[in-house]
Amino acid sequence: MKNPSRKWKLFHLSSREAGRAVVLLFVLLLFTITGCDNGGDDTPFPPVADTTLHTPGDLAAFKQVLTNIPDDNITGISSDGGLALFKLNWQLTDANWKGILAALRENGRYVSLDLSACTKSADTTGTGLRSDGKLCLNTDSTAGKGQENIVEIILPAQATSMENGGYNSPTSTSPDNKHAFYGFTALRSIRGAEITNIGINAFRSLPLETIDLPKVREIGIRALYGCSSLVTASFPALIEVKKLGFYGCSSLENLTMPAATTIGDGAFYECSKLARLDLPEVTKILYEDNDPNISNYGAFQNCTSLTELDIPKISEIGDMAFQGCSNSASLVITMGPAAPKVGINSFRSITAPRTVTVKKPAKDTGYDANWQNGFKGLGWDGTAAGVPITSGGASAALINPELNTAITLTVTNL
């Protein structure tokens, strides 16, 4: 498949860029009218991209529009043309959605789909928008079903949740292909006004660059796993990030989650460009060794650029939270007046000298020498040293408590 990434932003110009584009179009038109010499070559100037917003009334009309789009003067025919723009207002049944994908597959055009006005079907299973508001837009196929031609999508206003993706078998750690956006290999932008949860594996390994889902309250397990093109994301209503939620978002630099209270283990694993994170309402950073099908990681494991973390309401920090955070700059963590319970091996795998500063209010409780030693590795629950985790079989040997002597810890007042 051709790569659409070079041209899809054609229709997202700034006002200055738009002005330049208008001037360029005027000059081209003037040259055409005056018969300006183009160097002696009879080859015409490149065609102007068509920015028409198509609004076909049903599936048959949608297919007809795709058929009638001129190959030499239209967005969406290839990466050289940009996108064909569509706004649909039909009932998004399983048959209608599969028909849309079949038409896209046949015509091979890259498109922007505005489905905001699409309504629920009577279906309780299958693809499309189901009667309960659950959205599933993949066709349970490995390739070739048309999803790969969708570059932008606006979700239906009546959609409130997404289909979860499971696992191939009870012993498999690989997800199956039933999650909501499986196969959308060109998807760069997604918006949705009413979606409240991003399902398990929903956007796994997609090339998403922008996300606008303002009402999302939960990010499911591996929901954004491997979205390595995502740079900035804002989730103003988000309450919980499940296990491995942002795993491998290696380009993520700016993340806003002002209402979040719970961070799952491995939530930011290998978010290697994330330098600063402000989590004003978070009370728990978890490590839960309770699912044999999902590997466990520290919440910020291998966040090698992390230098500043604000968690003023934190009460519990799970095991190995900062494992592998081995960048040369110091790590500054702002906490609240009461020292949180900490798990074991907070800074495991850090062997080079590393400076960590904990800032807390002047009137505080619990930030004594025992707690500080616990935070550096052994684990401390306020009364006794932590003990090795015995569940997890062979993996238990990897998480025995150890005091990390490479860490220089300073506790200071705000």
Query: What pLDDT is stored for residue 277 in this prediction?
Result: 98
Q: How far apart are CA 346 and CA 108, in angstroms?
A: 50
Mean pLDDT of 306-322: 96
Domain of 276, CATH number, reads 3.80.10
Q: How far apart are CA 377 and CA 379, in angstroms?
A: 6
DSSP 45: P
Query: What pLDDT is stored for residue 380 in this prediction?
Result: 65
**Is position 215 within any domain?**
no
**CA 206 from centre of chain:** 8
Strands 331-334 and 128-129, sheet pairing: unpaired
Looking at the structure, tell me whether residues 21 and 137 fall in a common domain: yes
Q: How far apart are CA 389 and CA 112, in angstroms?
A: 49
**Is position 212 within any domain?**
no
Domain boundary among 180, 200, 220: 200
Q: How far apart are CA 126 and CA 140, in angstroms?
A: 9
Q: What does the block give as tokens for 388?
A: 């090795």
87-107 tens-digit pLDDT:
999 999 999 999 999 999 988
CB 293 within 8 A of CB 167: yes
Looking at the structure, tell me whether residues 272 and 188 fall in a common domain: no
Residue of 393 and 224 predicted with greater confidence? 224
Query: What pLDDT is stored for residue 22 in this prediction?
Result: 43
Query: What pLDDT is stored for residue 289 in this prediction?
Result: 73
Looking at the structure, tell me whether residues 178 and 302 fall in a common domain: no
Looking at the structure, tell me whether residues 177 and 270 fall in a common domain: no
347-371 tens-digit pLDDT:
988 988 999 999 999 999 999 988 9
Looking at the structure, tell me whether residues 13 and 162 fall in a common domain: yes
Query: What pLDDT is stored for residue 145 in this prediction?
Result: 76
DSSP 163: P
Helix (DSSP H) and strand (DSSP E) numbers for the chain: 4, 23
Give the SS3 label for residue 25.
helix
**Is position 223 within any domain?**
no
Looking at the structure, tell me whether residues 275 and 151 fall in a common domain: no
**Is position 213 within any domain?**
no
Query: What pLDDT is stored for residue 394 in this prediction?
Result: 44
Burial degree of 98 (CB within 10 A; 0-12, 13-18, 19+): middle
**Is position 320 within any domain?**
yes
Q: How far apart are CA 320 and CA 126, in angstroms?
A: 40
Looking at the structure, tell me whether residues 13 and 153 fall in a common domain: yes
- Average pLDDT taken over every residue of the chain: 81
User: For the chain, what percent of residues have pLDDT higher than 90?
Assistant: 55
Q: At 329, which amino acid appears?
A: A
Burial degree of 25 (CB within 10 A; 0-12, 13-18, 19+): exposed
Looking at the structure, tell me whether residues 195 and 266 fall in a common domain: no
b/e map 199-226, b = 16+ CB within 10 Å: bbbbbbbbbbbebebeebebbbbbbbbb
Query: What pLDDT is stored for residue 164 in this prediction?
Result: 77
38-69 tens-digit pLDDT:
444 443 334 445 678 999 999 999 999 988 87
Looking at the structure of the chain, the number of domains it has is 2
Mean pLDDT of 261-290: 95
User: For the chain, what percent of residues have pLDDT higher than 70?
Assistant: 74
CA atoms within 13 A on the CB side of 280: 5
**Is position 243 within any domain?**
no
pTM of the model: 0.81
Domain boundary among 200, 221, 238: 200
**CA 413 from centre of chain:** 35
Looking at the structure, tell me whether residues 266 and 196 fall in a common domain: no
**Is position 221 within any domain?**
no
Q: Which segment of 60-69, 131-140, 189-198, 275-284 scores lowest on mean pLDDT? A: 131-140
Q: What does the block give as tokens for 256?
A: 């806003």
235-275 tens-digit pLDDT:
999 999 999 999 999 999 999 999 999 999 999 999 999 99
Q: How far apart are CA 287 and CA 263, in angstroms?
A: 9
Residue of 59 and 166 predicted with greater confidence? 59
**CA 211 from centre of chain:** 7
Query: What pLDDT is stored for residue 104 in this prediction?
Result: 92
Looking at the structure, tell me whether residues 188 and 270 fall in a common domain: no
CB 207 within 8 A of CB 5: yes
Domain boundary among 200, 217, 239: 200
* pLDDT at residue 228 is higher than 90: yes
Query: What pLDDT is stored for residue 72 in this prediction?
Result: 52
Q: Which domain holds residue 35?
A: 1-200
Q: What are the φ/ψ torsions at residue 359 (nearest 5 degrees)?
A: -105, 135
Query: What pLDDT is stored for residue 12 in this prediction?
Result: 42
Q: Which segment of 160-164, 256-260, 317-321 scores lowest on mean pLDDT? A: 160-164
Looking at the structure, tell me whether residues 275 and 145 fall in a common domain: no
Q: At 312, which amino acid appears?
A: P
Q: How far apart are CA 194 and CA 211, in angstroms?
A: 13
**Is position 308 within any domain?**
yes
Looking at the structure, tell me whether residues 35 and 143 fall in a common domain: yes
**Residue appearing with tokens 């002002």:** 258
Q: How far apart are CA 362 and CA 378, in angstroms?
A: 25
Strands 210-212 and 189-191, sheet pairing: parallel
108-120 tens-digit pLDDT:
888 999 999 999 9
**Which helix H or strand E contains 15, and what residues bound it?**
helix 15-34
